[in-house]
A and B are shown apart, each in its own frame.
Chain A
Amino acid sequence: EPTMHGEILSPNYPQAYPNDVVKSWDIEVPEGFGIHLYFTHVDIEPSESCAYDSVQIISGGIEEGRLCGQRTSKSPNSPIIEEFQFPYNKLQVVFTSDFSIEEQFTGFAAYYTAIDVNECTDFTDVPCSHFCNNFIGGYFCSCPPEYFLHDDMRNCGVNCSGDVFTALIGEISSPNYPNPYPENSRCEYQIQLQEGFQVVVTMQREDFDVEPADSEGNCPDSLTFAAKNQQFGPYCGDGFPGPLTIRTQSNTLGIVFQTDLMGQKKGWKLRYHGDPISCPKESTANSNWEPDKAKYVFKDVVKITCVDGFEVVEGHVSSTSYYSTCQSDGQWSNSGLKCQPVYCGIPDPIANGKVEEPENSVFGTVIHYTCEEPYYYMEHEEGGEYRCAANGRWVNDQLGIELPRCIPVCGVPTEPFQVQQK
């Protein structure tokens, strides 16, 4: 159990200590205290570097001292021969003796007490980001006005997070801008616009002054934007290093401004506005868009009309046009629909004639009907050519959709009747 003070005596003290002894003491005082260890008697076999018999003082695994020989107080008013002070609350003392035939030694007597440590000044590492307050057995950190102590009870920061901007246009700046921003802070802002608008951030280069990057390019203080799946930044330096206009393609944007303890600068100021999400003006084949605009934005509706000979097929229904709406995600609805050539199907057969099987029966395809010559002829001379028309029918210039007729050839015998003269 930690104690506030204690005594350590070598074996058999004040009698001579035995040979071949190794004995250690683990000293522990309450946390927040250091240890004052002092020796009032030292009578240990002397040797070079105390190589034979010794008492070692070890703190944190490091030997802080090693004693041997006979020591006496240097001050007549004090019994203390040797003393140590440690800002830690644990210490190990190890006594070692080897075999010796020489005269006998009485060992050592030492005492320790818990002493107060000034955590604010006794250590290299500063325990508090701002104000350090020492008290007996501990310390506490405190913060300047407008700052608050973080949960780690050591660091102070400003309360700069939580602002949510929903207006379609606005301005955001770092705390205290244009005065130096607070150190050791993490400011998180949110821009949340209604669906269908994308956040567009505009920044003046001179409105940005953040502690520049180190030699490895890491920003000690940084401004970062995050939208959907993309991140812009981190940015730092004197003058905004990123694009002066950032189109996020998202209606929400997270802004994080992170600072460390050092090097506060002027900070930054940005403007944003909501830009209606635009949908790309796609050049869909074989169709016309109405209205035809250079730019389409959220909620715009276009009527896409297939050009002659093309149709859009949805399930079993075909039509010559369809509607598409610019959606909040910048995509067109019904984008899967396409104008495709009208299909005229397999041409109907005719009696006493034939039609060649077309490779495809789509708009513009031309087929030819023929009659079974020489016994039939086509009723209309130019009636054999049909074209797959925009209405999905096979159409002839003369007959329209009517099929050609093959008429029997009359009056032509296969073999002429030869009258034999007698």
Chain B
Amino acid sequence: IFGGQPAKIENFPWQVFFNHPTAGGALINEYWVLTAAHVVEKNSDPSMYAGITALRLADLENAQRLYTKRVIIHPGWKEDDDLNPRTNFDNDIALVQLKDPVKMGPKFSPICLPGTSSEYNLSPGDMGLISGWGRTEKRLHVINLRGAKVPVTSLETCKQVKEENPTARPEDYVITDNMICAGEKGVDSCKGDSGGAFAFQVPNVKAPKFYVAGLVSWGKKCGAYGVYTKVKNYVDWILKTMQENSGPRKD
């Protein structure tokens, strides 16, 4: 997280830590974690922890380990070509089903899914929260969770970002309506934050309540604007996938 500040897991109780590679995910209910497809595309059994603020070994030992039952990547996600840098992050979304339900509490709590109404359409300037243990201005990754508040901006803004050391042609990058561009100078998500929730307040409710509008997906560089997977476009897929893969209810 660039331009962020220390946070506690109680601020983002839906935040799931993915180890190897370091990434994030969002708990959306007792059995499912939402993350970016590129986080789990090469790892069908990711190592996950929930309910932790700091990534010290002792903290991980006391954290709640989440065990994978299956990983389901969105069918529209194109598999990585090792030879070329990835320039197409369309449909960067995946679901991880857990073997055991997460017991909710002050440190474990899901984030809501977006509604499908127009109220959930984001406009430039809408402010959302990001969180993660990824790269900061000073470190490749951090021990303690960090969070930041970033504004939504137009996709064109992200399209205009120039890489300092381009590994691909600017026109090769695919930007679609399945993505959200957000950030401002100095405030951004970065490597290691992938898959984490881009959270917005549910509109028109009294008590603050957050839903996952986006997932940290990619960016040409860190520190200005980043691209997030627009979760609203996948709600049907998410619900359908969860329903199809839910076994007999245990309660």
Contact = CB atoms under 8 A, between A and B. Distances in A.
16 contacts: A350-B251, A376-B104, A408-B104, A408-B109, A410-B28, A410-B109, A410-B209, A411-B211, A413-B10, A413-B12, A413-B210, A414-B13, A417-B131, A417-B147, A419-B147, A420-B5
Contacts of B7: 417
Contacts of A376: 104
Contact of A351 (B149, B202, B207, B251): B251
A419 B3 CA distance: 11
Contacts of A167: none
B247 interface: no
A241 B12 CA distance: 102
A351 B210 contact: no
B97 to A, nearest CB: 16
B209 A412 contact: yes
Nearest to A420: B5
Given A351-B101, A417-B147, A420-B5, A408 B110 contact: yes
Contacts of B202: 411
B189 interface: no
A412 B8 contact: no
Contact of A408 (B11, B30, B207): B30
B111 interface: yes
A403 interface: yes
Interface residues of A, number: 21
Contacts of B129: 417
A25 interface: no
A415 B210 CA distance: 12
A352 interface: yes
Contacts of A415: 8, 10-11
Contact of B104 (A375, A403, A405, A411): A375
B5 A375 contact: no
Contacts of A405: 251
A409 interface: yes
Contacts of B111: 410-411
A76 interface: no
Contacts of A419: 5, 147-149
Interface in A366-422: 372, 375-376, 403, 405, 407-417, 419-420
A416 B106 contact: no
Contact of B209 (A350, A403, A411, A417): A411
Nearest to B8: A415
B210 A411 contact: yes
- For the complex, would chain A's binding face be called helix, strand, loop or mixed by DSSP majority? loop
A259 to B, nearest CB: 90
Contacts of A350: 251
Interface centre among B109, B112, B207 (most CB of A within 10 A): B109
A273 to B, nearest CB: 71
B106 A408 contact: no
Contacts of B5: 419-420
A246 B210 CA distance: 90
A372 B251 CA distance: 15
Contacts of A409: 104, 109
Contacts of B251: 350-351, 403, 405
Nearest to B30: A408
Given A414-B106, A419-B5, A408 B12 contact: no
B148 to A, nearest CB: 8
A416 B104 CA distance: 17
B29 interface: yes
Contact of A416 (B105, B131, B208, B211): B208
A410 B197 CA distance: 13
B250 interface: yes
Nearest to B4: A419
B49 to A, nearest CB: 18
Task: Enumerate the 7 nearest inter-chain pairs by beta-carbon distance, A residue then B residue, closest first.
Answer: A417-B11, A410-B112, A411-B112, A375-B104, A351-B251, A411-B210, A414-B10
Interface in B6-25: 7-8, 10-14
Contacts of B10: 413-415
Given A408-B29, A408-B30, A419-B5, A352 B104 contact: yes
Contacts of B208: 412, 416
Nearest to B187: A419
Given A351-B251, A352-B103, 4 more contacts: A351-B101, A408-B29, A410-B29, A414-B10
A414 B12 CA distance: 8
Interface string B208-221: 11110000000000
A416 B210 CA distance: 10
Contacts of A375: 104-106, 109
Contacts of B101: 351
Contacts of B147: 417, 419
A386 to B, nearest CB: 15
Nearest to B113: A410
B63 to A, nearest CB: 16
A405 B110 CA distance: 16
A413 B109 contact: yes
B30 to A, nearest CB: 6
B107 to A, nearest CB: 8
Given A419-B5, A420-B5, A413 B11 contact: yes
A372 to B, nearest CB: 8
Interface centre among A375, A403, A410, A416 (most CB of B within 10 A): A410
Nearest to A417: B11
Contacts of A403: 251
B149 to A, nearest CB: 5
Interface in B227-251: 250-251
A412 B104 contact: no
Interface in B79-109: 101, 103-107, 109
